[in-house]
Amino acid sequence: MKTRLRHFMELASANIWMVPSLFLIASVLIAFLNFYLDKTLFAQHVQFPKLFLYFNNSENIRTLLSVSASSILGVAGVSFSITIASLTLASQQFGSRLLRNFMMDRFNQLVLGVFIGTFLYCIMMLQFTSSMDLEKTTPLISMIGLLILIVTNLLMLVFFIHHTAVSIQAESVIADVNGSLQSQLNTFFPDKYTETEHLPESVTEHADDPFEGIDNYIYTKQSGYLQAIDMESLIAWVSDEDISLKLTVKPGDFLIKHSLIGVCLISDEQKEDFKKTISDPVNDRFLIGAKGTASQDPEFAVRQLVEVAVRALSPGINDPFTAITCIDRLGDNIAFLIDREFPSDQHFDEEGRLRLQTKPFTFEGIVEVSFNQIRQHGRADVSVTIRLLETMYCLTQQVRSQAQAEAIGVQVNAIYSACDENFKATKDRDDIETLYQKITALLEERFSKG
């Protein structure tokens, strides 16, 4: 249930209408509250100082409300136009999948919410003040609230223009995606040796695969991106049913209808109605949608950075500086993962029996997702190739295990092998050769197999 609720909240936060909708509701409540206070506190026309005489005239008040409503609606229209223009620009330069980040921008949602909320507040007050003379009410609190809203709207407009101009810059887009990536990595990969002592020891280190040779296959009922798995519910269910389950897919994978998603250990009695008792409950705990999400996929933001880099390397844009910035950010996050604990792919019940084995995220897999496409699309650019090797050299200095060294070594060899066919200048080849020799020598020195 918690997984589904978090998943719903993430999908809702990606919609630009969520915060403005809350502001519309709030504006109605505030309008009712202010007018109620005015009727309670100022039930009769009160003799105010000359500064407040304006609020005693119903015509003046209605004029102010009408002008404010029409003006704010015009400003809201301009803001919507600026937002759409920035989204179009971002889609062309950075890719349509990054529109999700712009739509989730809380400041943009806040500005639009304030504008349309103020408009609705004015409309509500126009209805209330129509009986002002009859009830002899002075809407002092309501009008002071309107003036505060107008000043707030003017300030918001200035900040919104500045924010939009900054947010569509390549550095800001990359920094925003990188911030999301770092937050995800902190969530998915705990600090080694401090947050994983409670986990049971992995049985695959000292036992054969218990699922080998099992043909109780589970297939997906629909196609789409696997957005999340309700792990808590799934583990509780397999424990109650006294079965063991191995998943062959992970969040972020695209599932083709009727494709394999898992295999399970079950009794002969449970095989009689396998589809209803096993396959359907497993499918019900898979959240599948038309697009990927970041809720359980740490590679989601990695792919966003890679997309920015690949688009920057396209002939139509040809911006290696943006690609190099993405490489720097990706290298920094890979270095972060070196000292992090990757979650166990095995889940046990209270008696220590293996109940669920998942398809894990690995260091090698994240390295490949980070650099494969950039390497392939940037193989003809000297500066990108050199920066890739420089990043690999920095990572080589920090790797802690043979598996990590091998993952870096695969990328280094793939980068170097493309140089023979693309770079003819002696200076470029010498720089690349020097970096390659330094990396291979360091890898051999630290992780010699001899």
Is the predicted pLDDT of residue 204 greater than 50, yes or no?
Answer: no
**Model confidence band, residue 53 (pLDDT cutoffs 50, 70, 90):** low
pLDDT at position 54 over 60 = no
Query: What is the pLDDT averaged over residues 297-312?
Result: 91
Name which of 9-13, 78-82, 215-219 the model is least confident about. 9-13
User: Residues 6 or more apart from 154 whose CB is under 8 A from it?
Assistant: none
* First-to-final CA distance of the chain: 52
Q: Rounded distance, CA 95 to CA 108, Å?
A: 19
Residue 415 identity: I
pLDDT at 45 over 70: no
Q: Which residue has the higher pLDDT, 351 or 399?
A: 399
- Which residue has tokens 């995800």? 184
* pLDDT number for residue 370: 95
Q: What is the pLDDT of residue 422?
A: 67
Distance, in Å, from the CA atom of 411 to the CA atom of 387, rounded to the nearest integer, reads 13
Q: 36 pLDDT band (50/70/90 cuts)?
A: confident
Find the mean pLDDT for residues 336-365: 88
Q: Which residue has the tokens 């029996």?
A: 353
Question: In the prediction, which pLDDT does 15 show?
Answer: 73
Alpha-carbon span 257 to 235, nearest angstrom? 24
Which pLDDT belongs to residue 201?
43
Q: What pLDDT sits at residue 328?
A: 95
Q: How far apart are CA 408 and CA 428, in angstroms?
A: 22
pLDDT-derived band at 380, boundaries 50, 70, 90: confident
pLDDT at 42: 63
What is the pLDDT, as a whole number, of residue 29? Answer: 93
Using the predicted structure, report yes or no on whether residue 202 has a pLDDT greater than 50: no
DSSP 44-111: S-----GGGGGGG-HHHHHHHHHHHHHHHHHHHHHHHHHHHHHHHHHHHHH-GGGHHHHHT-HHHHHH
Higher pLDDT: 137 or 294? It is: 294
Residue 337 tokens, joined: 């993962």
**Which comes out higher in pLDDT, residue 306 or 81?**
306
Pick the most confident of 100-114, 284-298, 414-428: 284-298
Which position has the higher pLDDT, 420 or 95? 95
The three-point CA angle 91-115-62 to 5° equals 150
* pLDDT for res 30: 92
Top mean pLDDT of 84-98, 202-216, 404-418 is at 404-418
**C-alpha dihedral sign at 319, 320, 321, 323:** positive
Segment 265-274 shows an average pLDDT of: 72
Q: How confident is the model at residue 12 (pLDDT cuts 50, 70, 90)?
A: low
Q: How far apart are the C-alpha atoms of 306 and 317, rounded to whole Å?
A: 15
More confident residue, 310 or 418: 310
Under a CB-based contact definition with an 8 Å cutoff, are residues 382 and 314 in contact?
no
| pLDDT(174) > 50 | yes
Mean pLDDT within 234-249:
89
Which value, to the nearest 10 degrees, does the dihedral of the CA atoms of residues 268, 273, 274, 279 take?
-150
State the chain's mean pLDDT as an integer: 83
At 213, is the pLDDT very low, low, confident or very high (cuts 50, 70, 90)? Answer: low
Residues present in the chain in total: 450
DSSP classification of residue 347: E
pLDDT at residue 165 in the model:
83
Of the ranges 128-137, 362-371, 427-436, the best mean pLDDT one: 362-371
Q: What is the pLDDT of residue 203?
A: 41
- Mean pLDDT lowest for which of 101-105, 160-164, 438-442? 101-105
* 146 within 8 A of 125, measured Cβ to Cβ: yes
